[in-house]
Amino acid sequence: MIRNSVSYDEQFNLTIEKAYDLTNQWLNNQFKVKIKRILPLQLIEAKQVTKMTNTGHDPNWRKLIRISFYKIQERTVHIRIEAIPLAKTIFRIE
């Protein structure tokens, strides 16, 4: 089984509290996202469930989203976002 993941790292000029709140708001506004685990100001894990396509449910669309927060300085935060597909068989890699 191949486990492909997409990751993104970036530093922002925000307090860690503001970055955490904005991320939480964004996740709550996404299509069919369920927050599974929260460690305040450290980690958010969420699962995005299957999206309907013309042929039914697309198993490649399901993914685990893991967002980690690291405080660099008082007003600088490093954010790492990982998206991991949950499908057992990956039909396509984009």
CATH number of 6-85: 3.30.530.20
Give the residue from 57, 15, 56, 74 showing the smallest Cα distance to 48: 57
pLDDT digit of tens for each residue in the chain (94 aa)? 455 778 889 999 999 999 999 999 988 888 788 889 988 899 999 988 766 666 665 655 678 889 999 999 989 999 999 988 776 555 555 5
Please state the pTM of the whole predicted model: 0.74
Cα dihedral across residues 84, 42, 16, 44: positive or negative: positive
Backbone angles phi, psi at 29, to 5 degrees: -100, 0
| Domain residue spans of the chain | 6-85
